[in-house]
Amino acid sequence: MSEIKENAGSIWKNDYKKEGDSKPDYKGKINVDGKIKDISLWVNEWESKKFFGVKIQDEYVKPDQAQKPEAEKESEPKKDTLPF
């Protein structure tokens, strides 16, 4: 994914949404003051008027990606301290 400019972002239609599903209608990422956030939008209707319901939360990081730095440290070959 390309870099997101500060205080900007992109929202895309959620192709995984099925009718009656509680998943958001649109999803995306935004940069709020230098911190990446996930944004979700639902199309709602009230008194015959449509509007967006919005949820913003910290960026989702897969558990295996969160552990990667630790695993990389362990997989590095240990340097031999012997001079020969």
Structural domain of 14: 8-74
Q: Which residue has the tokens 């008194």?
A: 47
CA–CA dist 35, 56 (Å, integer):
12
- The reply to whether 83 falls in a domain is no
Q: Is residue 79 part of a domain?
A: no
23 falls within a domain: yes
With 0-12 CB in 10 A as exposed, 13-18 as middle and 19+ as buried, what is 24? buried
Helix (H, G, I), strand (E, B) or coil at 22: coil
Measured distance CA(39)–CA(55) in Å, rounded: 6
Phi and psi dihedrals of 19, rounded to 5?
-60, 135
Tens of pLDDT along 20-67? 889 999 999 999 999 999 999 999 999 999 999 999 999 998 888 766
Please check whether residue 81 lies inside any domain of the structure: no
User: Number of structural domains, the chain?
Assistant: 1
pTM: 0.68
